Amino acid sequence: MVLEALFGKKQLEKTRPVQEERLEGLRLENAELTLRNEFYRRIIEKYAAMIDEYEEKTVPELKSLINKNDPAILELKKRFLDELLADKMKRGGTSADYVFSEDFLFVADKVFKYCQQLSHIHANLPVSFWLNMKEVSQMQAADPFDRAILLCSLLRAFDGMAKIRVLELENNLIHPVVLMEFEGKKFLLDTNQKESLLTSYSGLDLNDVLKSFGYDGNKYLKSAYEFNDEEYVEF
């Protein structure tokens, strides 16, 4: 009765149908989205074998995924360079340019955090596929492999010693990480873990760093293979 006194009974009666119409509209949109997703899933499953064959990478193709000259990578590189130079100006730096020995860890931390904040894609589909770096940048989302490729490509763009290492973990889990080296120190980078900082897994001995690693409760067992734009190694 208080609301009726303030706004009038007719206005309240008019508001209720509008709200109901909006809720019905949202319900229909959600139902349409669910149906569309199911439709796409069935198409993908129908042609899963063809997609897998097309997406399978040879060793040269795998290496080419790490591309520091990709337009999307160069665009992101410029962004991080601008952030670096702005920070150096604030700190009264003597150089207005990127100096590897002085600036690499600053940039690596920025790059790592950027990749870390990407939305996670868990397609739950019976196919393997790769996104290119432009698609990752546009969607702001990636699966673990595409995250590793983006991170490794950006680190390489800043002259970093970086490569993707594919690990075998407990419970038959295959998980990619990025190995980076700077001034003799080894870093294991995994942007799929929110709590993992740039230096969470690091040390002078790579084997010790690997043995300390775990993901989603699964401990490291052994390495499968590693690669970047210059080399590919199987273990």
What is the C-alpha radius of gyration for the chain, rounded to an integer number of angstroms?
A: 24
Residue 51 lies in a domain: no
Is the full-model pTM beyond 0.85? no
Domain shared by 42 and 68, yes or no: no
Q: Is residue 28 part of a domain?
A: yes
User: Quick count: other Cβ atoms within 10 Å of Cβ 81?
Assistant: 17
Whether 18 is in a domain gets the answer: yes
pLDDT at 52: 61
Residue 10: give the domain boundaries: 2-46
pLDDT digits (tens, 9 = 90+) for 56-94: 777 778 899 999 999 999 999 999 999 998 888 887 766
Identify the CA nearest to 77 among candidates 159, 140, 135: 159
38 & 116 share domain: no
Give the domain CATH number at 217.
3.10.620.30
Amino acid (one-letter) located at 167: L
Assess contact for 112 and 151: CB atoms under 8 A.
yes
101-150 confidence digits (pLDDT tens):
989 999 999 999 999 999 887 655 666 667 888 988 898 988 899 999 99
Please count the structural domains in the chain.
2
Which amino acid, one-letter code, is at 122?
H
3-state helix vs strand vs coil in the chain, percent to 5: 55, 20, 25
